[in-house]
Amino acid sequence: MAHRDLPIYELEEALVTSLRTQGRLVVQAPTGSGKSTQLPQMLLDHGLLETGQAVILQPRRLATRMLAKRVAEELGSGLGGVVGYQIRLESRVSARTRIRFVTEGVLLRQMSFDDQLKGIDVLIFDEFHERHLYGDITLARAIQIQQSTRPDLKIVVMSATLDTVILKDYLAPCAVLTSQGRMFPVAMSYLAKTVNFEQEPVWDVAARECERLGGETAGDMLVFMPGAYEISRTVQALEARRGLRDFSCLPLHGELSTEQQDRAVARATTRKIIVSTNVAETSLTIDGVTAVIDSGLARIARFDPHRGINTLLVEKISAASADQRAGRAGRTAPGVCVRLWTERDHGQRSPQELPEVKRLDLSEVVLTLKATGINDVANFPWIEKPEPKALGRAELLLTDLGALDGQVGEITTLGRKMLNFPLHPRYARMLLEAESRDCVRPVALMAALTQGRNFLLRNASKAVEEARESVLGEEHESDFFLLMRAWLQADRSNYRLEVCRDLGLHAQGARQVAPLFDQFLKIAEKEGLQAGDRGVDSVAVRKCVLVGFSDQLARRLDVGTLRCDLVHGRRGLLARESVIQNSPLLVAAEITEVGGRGGEVNVLLNLATAIEETWLQELFPDDYCNASGVIYDETAKRVVVRRERKFRDLVLESKSSHEDPPLDAAARLLTSEVLADRIKLAAWDEAVEQWITRVNRLAEWFPELEITPITAKDRGTLIEQICYGEVSAKALKDKPVMPALRDWLTSEQLAVLDVYLPERLTMANGRRSRVTYHVEGPPVLSARIQELYGIEGKFTLGQGRVPVKIEVLAPNQRPIQVTDDLGNFWRDQYPKIKPELSRRYPRHEWR
């Protein structure tokens, strides 16, 4: 249909009027309504872009380029003319450009250098419901700019599904326009029972459902998979199905060439099955799709601020994302959606995805905010505030990199230089360090190698491993170096498939490195860095890696395993395929949580580089130290003195000394072990606990005695007194504890304790009966019936001040009655129980 038939044009008049009269607008319109492609053209047609551009922010690179291409085609203009796009490291714009599609980070970087946003008339935030980190930040920053230097700036926020109440309050004052769109009905179906994708791979299940739907539906099919690997396996599974021979099976994801991406969304004469990541969930509309097969999975990036670990795990998508995917089947005709999970499982899914600000590394965005003069990032007007620990860790990393002043938190000259490089701050810092060490070119290549997927395929066959060793040579210093040589080999062969296949290389992934490498070299030269080819100085390059990743320094725990200790108290496993198998110290450029079978999660250290300990002292003199410390050696079961070399909190080497540990320190450590129940004090038994309870109740019942109660904290103090003078668990095992406890009281208080609250009382028959004291309630005297003969009425201690309960025992010491008045017991209860007891115990006296 002609683009003016799209539902968004129902809002055209109201939209243009709103923008002419006020500066902020929210547009809520479903996927497929045409908002992404048509709204910018409306602005152009109605003269709202006479002096500047409309900049449309998209969360994904692939969608940014494809939307720009489609709008350019509709306007009869080539890309880079009236319509252009900018994504990280790629730009197709000119002085004639009036509609510019960009990824979110591009505009935020522009804001850090230009708070006037010169040449921009309208900012359009598309697909805002996805709540990408840079979208949140850029919108907040745009509002600040509009309120200060650019009151004429127009801001439009668009979304398919959005909580307009939250956004309307945040953007107030603003108008909200809603388009209902025109969706055809989509028939939903679920699997009858849950499938274990580890036993039956998700791509096989999807292919089976596609084959079933192929004969039942007309039109094309769209299959959602979490990543490039799953997409590749799905295409293979589809092509192996006889019932799908008439279909073209096409992948769609960000790692493909532009030609492959365009082919997947282009109209075709034959039916096709597009297998896509969630890039096809929003933004891109693929005409002709009438069936969706949804795996219900996506790779979701997260950052753990407590451990500083980046994760990229396959997770279940939210119900909102599933609805977005299903809607792709009802764009042009009634459709069907098959969800590869059960209806019960669907009811248990989270309603919405967690916003990225709650789950991603914030270091790059914090540096960008600091560059705009916002030093108090915690009080920045976030739509939703990030976790304080996540912000704190980002600022700590930037301080470690020298990008922030550790005293006042302001961006440094070095930090501003780092922002000139469109890279994570770690790699930007590495490039600047490389200038001083004359190795800019290899470090730029390393940065380029890490921007996309790892093209050096893992779990290679023995033949591939032998070919790599033969062609690439041995490598024991850095996984980066092996990756660099592999890429150079692929580049020299012009990425020939047979060469890449023999070496276990992903040809397309390797091909994507070259333009990034060239781009980084151009940026480096523009910033005055010397990027000539001077060869690779191994030591210089590895020092640059250490500067970028000092907080990911790891020490091998032993030769026999891959276990490592890391800075910040973390532990991980060196990747088995790493070439750094013999180095005791290394830095990991990637620390990743990888989901395994049965919910197991492994912390893997990838892209490792061997380093020398002397470099730590050279590069970080304030963080490297020799120290002696006193520790409790769990193996020896004693306190010992250790000599340690440390980098920050990571112990590099620890040796026991023959010195005697200080007694104070030894007592504190032994006390900690006792309180943690790892050392037992045999003499601290129930009698000791009773003694402490007696002291505390005496203090409570007789305040005039001025006795200090023994609190939980005081117990630690008393145990430390008992431990003083000892250094081993063995010496403590049978050590008496009462001497230290008795010292808590004066001799007068001790005497009163035994008189007022005795442990035992002498009964009429000469036997001593036990009195039990409790934290609350009265004491309890336990005595056999025969020991209580002749005692009437109520019973008290402490000169009549403390009433006592009587626990009456049978001859077998088992309780038969608890009373606080023996007179009542003799009168009411005893006659009832005496006959039975006297028959059972005839040898005892029964009065």
Tell me the per-residue pLDDT of 794-811, one tens digit each, with 9 for 90 and over: 888 998 899 999 999 999
Q: With bands split at pLDDT 50, 70 and 90, how would you rate the model's confidence at 520? A: confident
Helices then strands, each counted (H, E), the chain: 32, 30
Of the chain, the percentage scoring pLDDT greater than 90 comes to 53
pLDDT of residue 309: 52
Range in 5-9, 413-417, 550-554 with the lowest mean pLDDT: 5-9
Give alpha helix (H) positions in 493-565: 497-502, 507-511, 513-526, 538-548
Quote the crossing angle between the two packed helices 686-701 and 747-756, to the nearest 10°.
Answer: 90
pLDDT of residue 306: 44
Given a cut of 70, is residue 536 above it in pLDDT?
yes
Question: 168: closest CA among 331, 22, 51, 14?
Answer: 22
CA–CA distance, 733 with 723 (Å, rounded to integer): 10
Give the residue-averaged pLDDT of 147-162. 88
Give the residue-averaged pLDDT of 113-135. 88
pLDDT of residue 599: 59
Instruction: Output the pTM of the full model.
Output: 0.61
Give the residue-averaged pLDDT of 297-317. 69
Residue 343 parent element (H or E): helix 343-347
Mind listing the pLDDT tens digit for each residue in 735-779? 999 999 999 999 999 999 999 999 998 876 677 889 999 999 999
pLDDT of residue 789: 87
Give the residue-averaged pLDDT of 22-50. 90
CA–CA distance, 570 with 572 (Å, rounded to integer): 7
Given a cut of 50, is residue 629 above it in pLDDT?
yes
Give the residue-averaged pLDDT of 44-73. 91
Give the residue-averaged pLDDT of 222-242. 92
pLDDT of residue 283: 65
Given a cut of 70, is residue 2 above it in pLDDT?
no
CB 269 within 8 A of CB 279: no
Give the residue-averaged pLDDT of 85-101. 91
pLDDT of residue 553: 95
Give the residue-averaged pLDDT of 41-63. 91
Residues with Cβ within 8 Å of 244's Cβ and at least 6 positions away in sequence, in order, are 207, 210, 211, 214, 238, 273
Give the residue-averaged pLDDT of 221-233. 90
Average pLDDT of the chain? 89
Mind listing the pLDDT tens digit for each residue in 807-836? 999 998 899 889 988 888 998 889 999 998
DSSP 143-206: HHHHHHT-TT-EEEEEESS--HHHHHHHH-S-EEEE----PPPEEEEE-SS---TTTS-HHHHH
Long-range contacts, 615-619 (Cβ 8 Å, 24+): 615/542, 615/543, 615/546, 616/546, 616/553, 616/647, 616/652, 619/543, 619/546, 619/547, 619/550
**pLDDT: is 265 or 555 the higher one?**
555
Mind listing the pLDDT tens digit for each residue in 668-686? 999 999 999 999 999 999 9
Q: With bands split at pLDDT 50, 70 and 90, how would you rate the model's confidence at 1? A: very low
Q: With bands split at pLDDT 50, 70 and 90, how would you rate the model's confidence at 383? A: confident
**pLDDT: is 293 or 816 the higher one?**
293
CA–CA distance, 483 with 471 (Å, rounded to integer): 13
pLDDT of residue 569: 83
Given a cut of 60, is residue 43 above it in pLDDT?
yes
Given a cut of 60, is residue 171 above it in pLDDT?
yes
Residue 83 parent element (H or E): strand 83-87
